[in-house]
Structure 1
Amino acid sequence: MKILYGVQGTGNGHIARARVMAAALAKRDDVSVDFVFTGRDPEKYFDMDVFGNYRTLAGLSFVTRHGKIDEWRTLKNANIRQCFRDIKQFDTVGYDLLINDFEPITAWAAKRSKLPSISISHQAAFSFPVPKAGDTVTDRLLMKYFAPTDIQLGVHWFHFNQPILPPFVADKPLASPAKQHVLVYLPFEEINDIQQMLEPLSDQQFMCFHPGISAPLDCGHIHWQPTSKLTFQTALQHCAGVIANGGFELSSEALQLGKKLLIKPLHGQFEQLSNVLTLNQLDLCQTLFQLDTDVVEEWLDAPENEPITFPDDPSLLIDWLVMGNWQDTKSLCDALWRQVTYGNKTREKLLSLAF
């Protein structure tokens, strides 16, 4: 089977999910795969070796300013004409299937050429009745038409009795993590704003990753790092907690490691608001609606989360893709959810909410 795999490159979460799939696919001799990434300047991708000879295209992305989506600059920067050209010129001949993670060029090219296509993404979960917050008519249209596919397989922290998979998370909790710092990843916030929020909390060490940082920089108890997969994963394993935006993948990794979460959703993005709603309903995070030192200080005393065990091997999913009976999503979902283990408090909360 020859697979085309389209990935939205705007956020690192999409790429992190694709890395797990790429590593598993590389072990197979019955599948070959070509990766396409859009939504980010080519030079801003990092740690991409696992994807082999991947392609990049401009695609579509959003622009943020001070932790909010800047709708005007997003529209101004969107090169719709180039996007249509790329869709029209994209050659899908020779592929048996498109796997799509909210990536518009390959999705519309597959639709145009009638190549079978499957969404495997967190965004696809919002096609189904799952907890949502702040979604507008525009958001619903965007979810439906931005990257349309024949079959939608959502990815979420619970199945909600829908065609939804659990996330694949490779890292397991360490026996004795150091817990000497708090990890901060707020890529849509200004560096100076983050610095000002954390500056008064001098008794706590903070490890801050940001795409605007080009080399490690120590500012007393605040340690700045450029984005790097290996350094970030080490910092995540050894942290006492995570302060982050409401992206799905980092929250999933933190949940598996039992890290407490303080989440600042990106204003204007209903997906992140919905993620915070679900985590709050399960008592798995606290919320930071603006950069507030007092809220951070209070959260520092909060207890840890109970770890949630998610699957780490997507082989069952790949087997299902190869077999080709793609309308039967239930057997796949059931098999993967049997690998998920919740802590007692989370399990009781799920039962009380009657999801």
Structure 2
Amino acid sequence: MLAYILRRLLLIIPTLLGILLLNFIIIQAAPGGPVEQMIARLEGLDNGGATSRISGGGSEVSSGNSHYRGAQGLAPELVQEIERMYGFDKSAPERFWIMLKNYARLDFGNSFFRDVKVIDLIAEKMPVSISLGLWSTLIIYLISIPLGIAKATRHGSTFDIWSSSLIIIGYAIPAFLFAILLIVLFAGGSYWDWFPLRGLTSSNFDELSLFGKIRDYFWHLALPLTALVIGNFATLTFLTKNSFLDEISKQYVVTARAKGLSERRVLYGHIFRNAMLIIIAGFPAAFIGLFFTGSLLIEVIFSLDGLGLLSFESAINRDYPVVFATLFIFTLLGLLVKLIGDITYTLVDPRIDFSARAG
């Protein structure tokens, strides 16, 4: 097992390099980079001869008193200074190599347009994404696995049919529509004003007691988590049901029943261990998806400033340091969580031996 873990950790390095290189090439081919956006912003101004100052990465550029006059365009020296400020005075391979060296030191640089370190920006947004991703994933698993098992053991019954109908309806409606409905119903839209509409905590959060802080925190999360759970638990429920149905029909289950074991002993002593393997395999993807990307619209609707919104805005604004830093961190966490998911296999079924499989 130790050798397998070491091999997987070493494979993370080329995987990260490949993902960063591929996205770097794609972004270089995309039009409208930060230099073009800054030039467009400056050309949209008409300061009547006043000095224009550009700040970024700790440097300032002055266009002078007569170099810039609206439609007359920018002075070539100013354009060159903008390129130097954003690092585009170097070739693409050189920029990529510098980025890799900085990332090896966990130095992600400064945001082009926010004038703050990228790592500080990510740390500022992290609590929202952790809250949405962690709690929604836990709630989805706590609901979906028991519900899936109940549907498998009652396959074809009235309960199975009606629950499947409700689950399919929930799956067919996007999470953001549920979010809007919840706001209309419970956040002062047209009916009741029971829950807050924005933010992760109240303005007086620091003044509350420990119990008050916990209550306030989950009070703000109630509607976003409800919208995420309703829109995302269907897949895991049906996956659990089908996995258990597949195991129930196997020969070892028939043999266990023939030995006189109770249905509960057969279900949780024999079927559960094998059926849960595929559920565990899907946990990393489910967690990462909800953690980083699945909550983008929820963050927008409930005014929660998290990593999903940050990544989207950075991609639109061509804020490359933030784009690549979030890509690096998301990919690294995804690979590590995937490894943890594989290791968890052995906790569910000790018969699995990754070292033997590799051999």
* TM-score, normalised via structure 2 length: 0.23
Higher relative contact order (CA 8 A, sep 6+): 2
- Find the structure with the greater CA-based Rg: 2
